[in-house]
Amino acid sequence: MTMFFFIYKFSTCLPYYLLMQLLKDVKITSSLGVATMYIDGVFSGGGIKGFALIGACDEIEEKGMRFARLAGTSAGSIVAALIAAGYTSKEIFQLVDELDLSKLLDARKTLIPFPFAKWLFVYWRLGLYKGNELEKWLCEKLEAKGLKTFADLPPQALRVIASDLSNGQMIVLPDDLQKYGIAPGSFSIAKAIRISCSIPYFFEPVKMRSMDGMNVLVDGGVLSNFPMWLFDKENVQKVRPVLGIKLNSSEYEHEKHKIKNAVQLFAALFETMKDAHDSRYISKKHVKNIIFIPTEGVLSTEFSLTEEKKRELFNLGKEKAKHFLKTWGY
């Protein structure tokens, strides 16, 4: 379906203000009448499997679509932030591909052998790795595009999900920073992404002070791994198409957890908790706007991916997006 047919098809039934918004989101990019369509994008978490998100975004870009607003959790927040900064998907793949992923595993220095020390880190520091190297890398890449704080972006252009364990609630950054006495526009984008990526026990949580004391913030995936609800709400007319990219199979094809020991029990508990909120929200109505990318067989924390595996994930995301966009009716 071409963009102009889409506008023609819905122009007779859309409210006037929505039609004007839609027309504003379409830009003619050549004398041949090729249009760029602006959409809102939501990216799920998935750790290192985020290479598949990049591949899907690459196909979306090739179809002439650009993102006006973005939201994401964990790995999805990294991709969303880099796109919001102005990087293309191919540039993002190159940035991440050139990065020595093992450098992100910044364990604290100790005289105790790491196999023993790591359990002390988990107990006292609440995580195996500091997470500072990830934030440093993000700062560098965002500042290269002129971004430091959320004030450097248009309002609502980027929102990421985190989990406040101290208060037992999900938070949206930068929107909810006022609860902590922080002006949303003054907050570091890289710090927000770092919080959203703080996988419990893997990366140390971020501690944020507020009027009522210290708060422990971790990976947004604990409470909402796929924040489609930010843009696609029941009984609320969307101002532009919303497209989600989710790193697993369809909600109706969830792989059954195998639970035979305490470790598998914890993993199943975390996965269930992570997907429960979003699974309840996503209905058949929303599924038609979601690209599902099955990435079974790859661990979220598999930071030793080979070049071949990175490219395989990228191509998988690209292929799934290509297949989906053939029939997507916005």
Annotated active-site positions, please?
74, 219
Concatenated DSSP letters of 87-141? --HHHHHHHHHHS-GGGG--PPP-SS-HHHHHHHIIIIISEEE--HHHHHHHHHH
What does the alpha-carbon distance between residue 194 and residue 316 come to, in Å, rounded to a whole number? 26
Give SS3 for 149.
strand
Which tokens belong to 212? 């009522």
Helix (H/G/I), strand (E/B), else coil: 68: strand
Residues in the chain: 330
Report how far residue 15's alpha carbon sits from residue 294's, in angstroms, rounded to the nearest whole number. 38
Place of tokens 């102005």: 86
Q: What is the Cα–Cα distance from 274 to 19, expressed in whole angstroms?
A: 37
8-state DSSP, 258: P
